[in-house]
Amino acid sequence: MQDKLAQLAKLVAQNTTADGVFPTAVPRLSVIRMSSPTEPLHTLHQPAVCVIVQGAKQVMVAEEVYRYEPGQYLVVSVDMPVTGQIIEATRDEPYLCLRLDLDLKLLGDMLVEMPDAFGTSSGRCKCVGVSRTTPDFLDAALRLAQLVDRPTEIAFLAPLIERELMFRLLQGGQGQMLRQILAPESRLQQVTRAINWIRENYAAPFSIEQVASAARMSSSALHQHFREVTSMSPLQYQKQLRLQEARRLILAKSMDAATAAHRVGYDSPSQFSREYRRLFGAPPIQDISRLRGQPAAYAQA
């Protein structure tokens, strides 16, 4: 295990020329480096598996904190507003991470081929989780990463190794979460429908009844299960999407705060300013000035 982690760390270091997130020629695979601890950074994390090979990071989802370090991996199974913070990194021993965005169609196709794949759901099922790597999982991750330096082999071997890695993932500690997110009419599948509906309609006012109808759940069941899965209510999820998109518009599009607030659905500039400061720790002008001096893309690592 330690030998494979060392090999992965060397490979990630060789393919990151500076701090940040670097896509590779292997589909959906990125390598990440940060040479110092970071401030908390809010982002919408897409479904992915992230394997730390050096350093440590914590991801906060509402009030829940997930810490992971070498020999562990993080899985995010749905689009989730999270706060990421790298907590162990130095210039000599930077934070290094391998991230593979999940191909949910591939996972779904694999589950159809696996006998009794969905099994029986037991207990509370979350959409974010941390587990320890196994030797087989780490071996597949290393072989996938090695293709970065063998570009002529990517088209032939990457699909095979990715499929093996997904098999190891489904057999690991977060396998139940992934199986449930893809199981027809499971609790997690219903919540996923609600999340997708909110993402498509976040800028407009909506009622819980509308979201529940889209999820094919009762309003009371939606409240209960949405919070179990995401650690927040549907309205809190909407608010985070609105504020993160407004922040992106101000930072990336140089939009003024009032225009960005209106674009994401706020009618009251003062309410927007209060909620923005509550989430990001500073009013828009101060927050954006601080962000402009930082690497922008390390949160989904």
Q: What's the CA gap between 290 and 292, in Å, rounded? A: 6
For residue 1, pLDDT beyond 90: no
Note the pLDDT tens digit of each residue in 209-267.
Answer: 999 999 999 999 998 999 999 999 999 999 999 999 999 999 999 999 999 999 999 99
Sorting pLDDT into bands at 50, 70 and 90, what band is 5?
very high
Sorting pLDDT into bands at 50, 70 and 90, what band is 124?
low
Q: What's the CA gap between 179 and 191, in Å, rounded? A: 14
DSSP, collapsed to helix, strand or coil, labels residue 280 as helix
Sorting pLDDT into bands at 50, 70 and 90, what band is 37?
very high
Looking at residue 186, its amino acid is S
Sorting pLDDT into bands at 50, 70 and 90, what band is 62?
confident
Q: Taking residues 57-64, what's their average pLDDT?
A: 93
DSSP, residue by residue, 119-130:
----S---SEEE
Note the pLDDT tens digit of each residue in 78-93.
Answer: 999 999 999 999 999 9
For residue 298, pLDDT beyond 60: no
Looking at residue 79, its amino acid is D
Residue 268 burial (C-beta neighbours within 10 Å; 0-12, 13-18, 19+): exposed
The CATH topology of domain 2-182 is Jelly Rolls (2.60.120)
Residue 74 burial (C-beta neighbours within 10 Å; 0-12, 13-18, 19+): buried
Q: What's the CA gap between 57 and 96, in Å, rounded? A: 10
Q: What's the CA gap between 264 and 246, in Å, rounded? A: 6
Q: In 127-239, at which residue ranges do the beta strands (DSSP E only) sit?
A: 128-132
Q: Taking residues 165-172, what's their average pLDDT?
A: 94
CB-based contacts of 23: which residues, under 8 Å, 6+ apart? Answer: 29, 30
How many residues are present in the chain?
301
Q: Which ranges constitute the DSSP H helices of 202-233?
A: 208-215, 219-230
CB 136 within 8 A of CB 70: no
pLDDT of residue 297: 46
Sorting pLDDT into bands at 50, 70 and 90, what band is 113?
confident
pLDDT of residue 299: 44
Sorting pLDDT into bands at 50, 70 and 90, what band is 123?
low
The CATH topology of domain 236-291 is Arc Repressor Mutant, subunit A (1.10.10)
The token pair that represents 46 in the structure block: 């897409």
Q: Taking residues 187-197, what's their average pLDDT?
A: 91
Sorting pLDDT into bands at 50, 70 and 90, what band is 119?
low
pLDDT of residue 116: 64
pLDDT of residue 277: 96
Percent of residues, the chain, with pLDDT higher than 90: 81
Q: What are phi and psi of 101, to 5 degrees?
A: -65, 135
Average pLDDT of the residues of the chain:
91
